[in-house]
Structure 1
Amino acid sequence: MRLRLGIDIACRAAHQASLADERGEFAWSGHRFRTTATDLERLWALLPAGTDPAMVTVIMEPTRNAWVPLAAWFRRRGAAVVMVPPERSADLRAYYSKHTKSDRLDSRILARLPLLHPEGLHTEEGLGPGDPLRRAVKLRSTLVRRRTATLARLDALLEILGPEWHAALGGDLANKTPLKFLAAGYACPHTVQRLGRARLARFLHRHSRGTWTEAKAEEPLAAAAATLQLWETDLEYPDLADDIAIEARLALAITQEVKELDERIAVLFARADPDGILRSVPGIGPILGAQILGRLGDPNRFTSLAGVRAFSGLVPRLDSSGVNGHHNGLTKAGDACLREALFMAAEHARRADPSLAAKYHRLMVTEGKHHNSALCHIATTLLTRIAACWRRGEHYTLHDPDGRPIDAPQARTIIAERYTIPADLRAARRTTHPHHSKSSGTGRRRKESQRAPSTGPSTAHATTPPA
């Protein structure tokens, strides 16, 4: 007889478990336990005597990361572990009881879920956040976003000093040389002038490894002089330089962490993909390949390629009733970090694979899609091909429009000859979506309401003010 163990997981309080048979009859419910070996052994001892572990299914919600050690413990005992999306169990809970919400009820709902929604159960085989590659690529994506936000704040602080500073620092704050310059407190114009041309040139030459020559030192000096002329004594230069130095040091520290994380990800990715299947996909390098594989998991765990696409969230929502039906935007129900990697990989893959370039060309030119919309289509196709190659254990192969295998230089030649997007069309597709309708809302600049006061002159031409 099959048994279903529903567990309502708590992050700080005790979990609650309920045990039901295949008919939905409860053997017991509301057992409290914590994530300790002693409590788990006591819980396992509550199963009926002689129970085959293979006949036990543990059903849980992925509550933060508290489910990971529980899933690993029950899998070691031989039980099957099923993870249920929280929104699905919440909908069933609302149907089950509209006026009650308790941990005991949640565990009972999870134990009876196979009876209410059997097609929604999928066995969880991986460790989730416990997998080192999955965790590392997510951490890297988070660090990159933090660095981007830090550089944006740094750019905004430099605007206070004046526009000359961006040109003086090369216009690329992600470069280590301007970051080290700012981290040293040299955003103060008085400090720059006290350094002088010779010492400033040595500093820039050393930290840029000879890329910035002695003539480059003239630009920070000119920027410092322009700032002093602009602000004179109205600005507290040392305080602003300290704030800029803090942001620059944060950017340098995050950059170093990302570099060390890339080295660890490369080792984990080589171990996870020893045959180099993802590395054979055009447009996917070690970083994007590791991010796709780490967040997707083993593609063999999906029953079909449609399941892989649905997991990514890169499929449109369907709204159908009777004879009417239409597709809305993307579901975005999957992993955001996976979609991010697929979107970036699609931009590179369409430049290297003629078949993807042909589809991108058709979407942009014939169907009038926006650039981002076309890339989402390419990302979905690319994910399907990656999963198919992984399931077959084959490398990705480039083909010409007639289906003959080709190499990378031949592919680029075909794309340049047949599938180049005109520059004016590309600019139009990148800025304005052709299917977006004009906004019908009332705004401060454009008021469609008849009773709204006018924001400008009543005529098309400006009137001449009286003398």
Structure 2
Amino acid sequence: MYAAVDWSDRWLDCAVVARNGHRLAHRRITYKDTNDPVGDVQELLRSCNRTRWRTIPIGTEDPDGLVFQAMEDAGLTVIGIDPMLAARARKATTLGLTKSDRADAFLLAEMLRTGGDRFRPVPRSSPQAQAIRILARAQAAAVKRRYRALHQLRAVLVTYYPAAVTAWPRLTLRHAQARAVLAAAPTPTQAAAMSRGEFARILREAGRWRTVDDEAERLSLHFRRPALRTHPAVETARGVETIGVLNTLNHACDAADQLAEQTAEAFILHPDAALLTSFPGIGPLLGSRILGEIGDTRERFPTARNLCAYAGVVPVVWASGLSHRASHRRFANEMLHNAIWQAAFCSLTKSPGAAAYYRQRRDKRGETHNAALRNLAARLLRALHHCLATRLLYDEALAFRDTNSAHRTA
């Protein structure tokens, strides 16, 4: 038998099908009508099979939900089904003309029945690794919100306050000094009326302690230069808009910084932290993102290629008859892909072996920057898989042994 549970915020739709595809049972469990939804699911499975109901696999599109974690704690087997695969099957199925929770539950059970070994139980990491994953994803989302607010602030300033966009050529508008000056002078008229002493006071409050007077003099002269001005009423309204966007940027910057500190603190306490940070280009933040996505369950990735495929750094090979074609892998873990890609880029200045390997792919094989960096990321992931399996720290001589020997020979 095969079971599936379609989750919603008000109820659970549970469906059970037999090996021959016959629909055996269906039940809708409403949260407000029960205190133990997991017990109700167990009762449904027990009514279908009195002796082996615990071995019935349960498919779901949200294996990380609270209900499904409670099912695993109760001894049930939960199998995750990717929502994209379920959407494709829902589009091609003939089980029903309209979409409903009941039909989705039977669809997931049918996918388990016909999928064979395609779907496997969800590998669970330790609670510590799960907490790191939550913090790392929250920090990455805060960084995206910070960039979004930064671009929005720049777009507003360009329309009426171009001097603020060019005032800090070496810094960005998200720097504390720039945000402090814009908060005190959100319009060009207010900035031109400020004295050097006021600029110096704002810079000191923002954390600057070197060459404060010189920077205040530069800003005072910069904002007093003749420039195009809009109507005073329009300028005042734009200033109010800028303050609102600036408050959003300040909140996003503070949230990203606080989450980064909390993520690094949680990551350092994990046993795999020293192993991950031994790799060149991987610090606490990148290490927490990588650890959070791959987990600390060693059986999840039997081979190094499985891990590389999960990160999307190895191509997909299509072979049919005499034709053989390799294409870019588009279906992968985006968070892990971005983290290992950034780690590979940072390793170019931290690891001589990585730099030599990258240069070899570019010069001798004629690969582009993206292709060479993708191969370097795959090389680092293979080394990481080996280190996690053997509990050994990163060794530059072993990771790029062939590259280092070829470099010495040349």
- What TM bracket, shorter-length normalisation? 0.7 to 0.9
- 2:75 corresponding residue in structure 1: 78
1:153 and 2:152 correspond: yes
**Contact 1:7–1:18, Cα closer than 8 Å, also in 2:** yes
* CA displacement, residues 440-462 of structure 1 (integer Å, 9 cap, x when unaligned): xxxxxxxxxxxxxxxxxxxxxxx
- Which shows bigger deviation, 281-290 or 322-331? 322-331
Cα offset for 1:31?
A: 1.1
Separation of aligned partners in 1, 2:194 and 2:400: 65
- Which shows bigger deviation, 52-61 or 386-395? 52-61
- 2:377 corresponding residue in structure 1: 379
Q: Which runs of 5+ in 1 are unaligned?
A: 405-410, 420-467
- 1:177 corresponding residue in structure 2: 177
Structure 2 length normalisation: TM-score?
A: 0.85
Larger Rg: 1
Cα offset for 1:341?
A: 0.9
**Contact 1:20–1:28, Cα closer than 8 Å, also in 2:** yes
**Contact 1:280–1:395, Cα closer than 8 Å, also in 2:** yes
**Contact 1:24–1:112, Cα closer than 8 Å, also in 2:** no
2:123 aligned to which of 104, 122, 125:
125
* Amino acid across the alignment from 1:182: L
Cα offset for 1:53?
A: 6.0
**Contact 1:205–1:212, Cα closer than 8 Å, also in 2:** no
**Contact 1:183–1:246, Cα closer than 8 Å, also in 2:** no
**Contact 2:316–2:329, Cα closer than 8 Å, also in 1:** yes
**Contact 2:4–2:108, Cα closer than 8 Å, also in 1:** yes
Separation of aligned partners in 2, 1:402 and 1:16: 52
* Amino acid across the alignment from 1:375: L
Separation of aligned partners in 2, 1:149 and 1:281: 31
- Which shows bigger deviation, 139-148 or 291-300? 291-300
The structure showing larger relative contact order (alpha-carbon pairs under 8 Å, at least 6 residues apart) is: 2
1:14 to 1:208, Cα distance in 2 relative to 1, 3 A: closer
Cα offset for 1:357?
A: 2.5
- 1:30 corresponding residue in structure 2: 26
Separation of aligned partners in 1, 2:245 and 2:211: 23
* CA displacement, residues 379-429 of structure 1 (integer Å, 9 cap, x when unaligned): 22222221221122111111179849xxxxxx9xx98x999xxxxxxxxxx
1:122 to 1:402, Cα distance in 2 relative to 1, 3 A: closer
- 1:450 corresponding residue in structure 2: none
- 1:319 corresponding residue in structure 2: 318
Cα offset for 1:290?
A: 0.2
Q: What does 1:5-20 correspond to in 2, within 5 Å?
A: 5-9=3-7, 11-20=8-17
1:97 and 2:78 correspond: no
Cα offset for 1:218?
A: 2.7
2:350 aligned to which of 325, 349, 352:
352
**Contact 2:354–2:400, Cα closer than 8 Å, also in 1:** no
Cα offset for 1:161?
A: 4.6
Q: What does 1:264-275 correspond to in 2, within 5 Å?
A: 264-274=262-272
- 2:201 corresponding residue in structure 1: 202
Separation of aligned partners in 1, 2:326 and 2:400: 32
Separation of aligned partners in 1, 2:400 and 2:214: 56
Separation of aligned partners in 2, 1:213 and 1:294: 42
3-state secondary structure, aligned to 1:277? helix
Cα offset for 1:233?
A: 5.0
3-state secondary structure, aligned to 1:236? helix
- 1:363 corresponding residue in structure 2: 361
3-state secondary structure, aligned to 1:231? coil
Cα offset for 1:164?
A: 4.1
**Contact 1:5–1:57, Cα closer than 8 Å, also in 2:** yes
3-state secondary structure, aligned to 1:350? helix
2:66 aligned to which of 53, 66, 69:
69
* CA displacement, residues 228-280 of structure 1 (integer Å, 9 cap, x when unaligned): x4327577332222222322222222111112111211222123335611111
- 2:279 corresponding residue in structure 1: 281
- Which shows bigger deviation, 389-398 or 375-384? 375-384
- Larger helix proportion, structure 1 or 2? 2
**Contact 1:53–1:77, Cα closer than 8 Å, also in 2:** no
**Contact 1:18–1:107, Cα closer than 8 Å, also in 2:** yes
**Contact 1:68–1:127, Cα closer than 8 Å, also in 2:** no
Separation of aligned partners in 1, 2:325 and 2:3: 40
Q: What does 1:248-263 correspond to in 2, within 5 Å?
A: 248-263=246-261
* Amino acid across the alignment from 1:159: V
Separation of aligned partners in 2, 1:245 and 1:79: 53
**Contact 1:29–1:108, Cα closer than 8 Å, also in 2:** no
Q: Which runs of 5+ in 2 are unaligned?
A: none
* Amino acid across the alignment from 1:369: E
Cα offset for 1:123?
A: 1.0
Cα offset for 1:78?
A: 0.9
